[in-house]
Amino acid sequence: MHPHTHTHTHTHTHTHTHTHTHTYVFTVCGSYPGRRRKDTPPLLMMFPCPMCKKDVELGEKGLTDCLRNLTLERIVERYKQSVSVGIMAVMCQFCKPPQPLEASKGCADCKANFCNECFKLYHPWGTPRAQHEHILPTHNFRPKVLVCPEHEQERLQFYCRACQRLLCSLCKLRRVHSGHKVLPIAQAYQTLKEKITKEMNFVLANQETVQMQIGQLEGAITQMELNSSVAQEKLLAVVEQLREALAERQAALAAALEDSRARRAEVLEVQLQEKRSLLEDAGLVNYTHELLKENDQPCFVQAARVTHYRLTKAIEHLQSFSLSADPSFRHFQMDGSREHREICNMEFIRAPLAPVIDTQKTLAYDQLYLCWRLPQDSAPAWHYSVEYQRRVGGAGSVWGGVRTEGKGPNSTGGWLRIDDVGGTSAVIDRLEMDSVYVLRVRGCNKAGFGEYSEEVYLHTPPAPVLAFCLDSRWGLHADRLALGKGQTYARSVPGLALLQAADRTLTSCHLTSDLLVADLSITQGRHYWACSVEPGSYLVKVGVGLEAKLQEWFHLPQDMASPRYDPDSGHDSGAEDAQDSPPPFCFLTMGMGKILLPHQGMTHPSGNPLTTPLPPRLGVCLDFDKGRVTFYDAHSLRMLWEGPVDCSAPVCPAFCFIGGGALQLQELVANRSVEQAPPRRVTIQTRATNLCN
């Protein structure tokens, strides 16, 4: 309950409390929008509460269905009497004029004010009136007890904790309160009073903390005002720079326009003078008339050459007349719509939005690799800050869980931070094995740090990561197995013999099995590695086996299975259930997007084989000292199956292909971070010292 209270100082006012425990003066609420007038009301009436900004359901009776807050009215009455002593007296209502006396008592039952003599007169000793409750004089008489607004004359004797409403004995029997915890009003009164007393004592005992927080708030307000003034000055400076740049640009464009006008005016003026010279009484025509009067032939020829040239040019210009300059200025039109839109859309720099974690690329292997991206409508980020911490409890089931709380109860310490991350990925090393880490990231630019991303949970491997490659020295059949660059990728393809056999017959062909092992063997300790099997693979086996037994099985004819050792160690058939010695091989069979879980080691074996969808990455953990191998969903580190294996000699990771298929060993995060090209960086001409302003 969070009662916000609005009071009114008028004498004749009633305060009412609606279902959200907010209290208002009835005369004020009566004129508030949403109150039903004389029009036909709906069955449910909503009242917009200004305090909680929510619509409150009032019911058919509207505000009259709300209970009066008599406690608040009494507090207001006591306050008014304390501040109005000697200023406004309450007069006796029964004294005869012309001089009524000042009232000394008020009767809550009669709802009237009396002087001492009138009170004794109207409340004779030995009569029921003598039992009336007398109070201080007042202009606002309240009921002695709260009564139910739905059942008149029924006192409110119960309190429903679920609905947080006072109930009468009849309301308690309603179906709407069935199953609710309903307390007697005395018990609710005592419980609530004890809680409020404890809370008040706590507040009073922490007055120093309150004063300190008040000081912090006052300092924050002062700092806020100062920072807003600085921001206002920067805004004015930026706008002034834009004005200066606009004025400079306007002057440059106006100068270019004036220069073009002057050149065109000069050219047109020259052409105009040429045309005017062709008029009858102009200079060139008059000169030509006088020239034709010359009879001396040598002198005429000498002077007529220039005149002839000028007349020829004038006739050409006369016959093909065109303006020597364009007067339209079509090429000097301005389109400021783009700049206008940019100015209208000019806003304050926004901090980057919360980054989105890429859960497909984010993983925990030898190191933690976190990858993210910004939303499309986010402001760019100059750099990022990555935070992480180790959590205890509830490890594997929360991988990738989206949580937004701060420091949780299961955290082992504060947040560790990696600052100034330039790209959209980060690598975190020196972590503890078999632990859950929670990570989050946020971007930063000139506007400061943005919101945190959703927290992502990563489970580190249960053992040190084993780095190895696929060994191609075991007589690899190049026509059936192809290794990729770095020998961490393998693909099984139909060999030439299988193609020839399929070409000669229409019946089914015998599939061969091809074995691949690691280029190292394990002799002690616990080790973990992961790989990805292509979902469309026909049949692939992933597991471990004794190095000597693998070599012995590998050198058998490839078109038949070993009569001594089954590559699947007999888990599918239960052939070794009676044997005490662990099998030399332990494989998990998968194909066409599913994994076959052997019966051995399962808690509830059944007649039908158990399968599970193939995870994006499969993890294998070998405990050499205990002779146990465990298969995991490497994405969530959920255990899929566990079985025994003979570890009396060196053991190798092994992979078997039957039919077409492909797998990829998980690349070490350390190698990935070194080999990947550095992210592109954009140089922004802004000082980094402004990030926290």
pLDDT by 10-residue block (mean), the chain, 693 residues: 42 52 51 49 64 68 62 68 64 83 86 88 87 80 73 82 83 82 87 90 93 94 94 93 93 93 90 74 74 82 83 77 81 88 89 93 92 93 94 49 43 81 91 91 93 93 92 66 84 69 60 82 93 90 90 57 40 47 90 83 55 92 94 91 92 88 90 53 40 36
Same domain (yes/no): 532, 568 = yes
Q: Is residue 681 part of a domain?
A: no
502: domain CATH number is 2.60.120.920
DSSP state for residue 660 in the 8-state scheme? S
Contact assessment for residue 182 and residue 192, using Cβ atoms and an 8 Å cutoff = no
Same domain (yes/no): 268, 413 = no
User: Cα separation of 357 and 384, whole Å?
Assistant: 13
Q: Which helix (H) or strand (E) holds 283?
A: helix 283-292
pLDDT tens, residue by residue, 417-442: 999 999 999 999 888 989 999 999 99
Domain count of the fold of the chain: 4
Same domain (yes/no): 80, 185 = yes
Contact assessment for residue 330 and residue 632, using Cβ atoms and an 8 Å cutoff = no
Same domain (yes/no): 83, 150 = yes
Q: Is residue 475 part of a domain?
A: no
Same domain (yes/no): 233, 136 = no
Same domain (yes/no): 180, 277 = no
Contact assessment for residue 655 and residue 663, using Cβ atoms and an 8 Å cutoff = yes
Q: Is residue 156 part of a domain?
A: yes
pLDDT tens, residue by residue, 178-194: 888 888 888 888 988 89
DSSP state for residue 348 in the 8-state scheme? P
List C-alpha distances in Å: 13 to 109, 243, 433: 19, 58, 70
Task: State CA 76 to chain mean position distance.
Answer: 47
Q: Which domain holds residue 150?
A: 15-193
Give the per-residue pLDDT at 582: 87
Same domain (yes/no): 31, 164 = yes
Place of tokens 């051995």: 600
pTM higher than 0.85: no
Same domain (yes/no): 69, 107 = yes
Q: Is residue 680 part of a domain?
A: no
Q: Is residue 207 part of a domain?
A: no
Residues 6+ apart with CB under 8 A from 542: 531, 533, 587, 588, 590, 618, 620, 631, 654, 655, 663
Q: Is residue 389 part of a domain?
A: yes
Sheet containing 182-184: give its strands across: 165-167, 158-160, 182-184
Give the per-residue pLDDT at 618: 94
Tell me the β-bridge partners of 456. 439
Count other C-beta atoms under 10 Å from residue 369's C-beta.
21
One-letter amino acid for residue 158 of the chain? F
Give the per-residue pLDDT at 529: 94
Give the per-residue pLDDT at 591: 87
Give the per-residue pLDDT at 404: 38
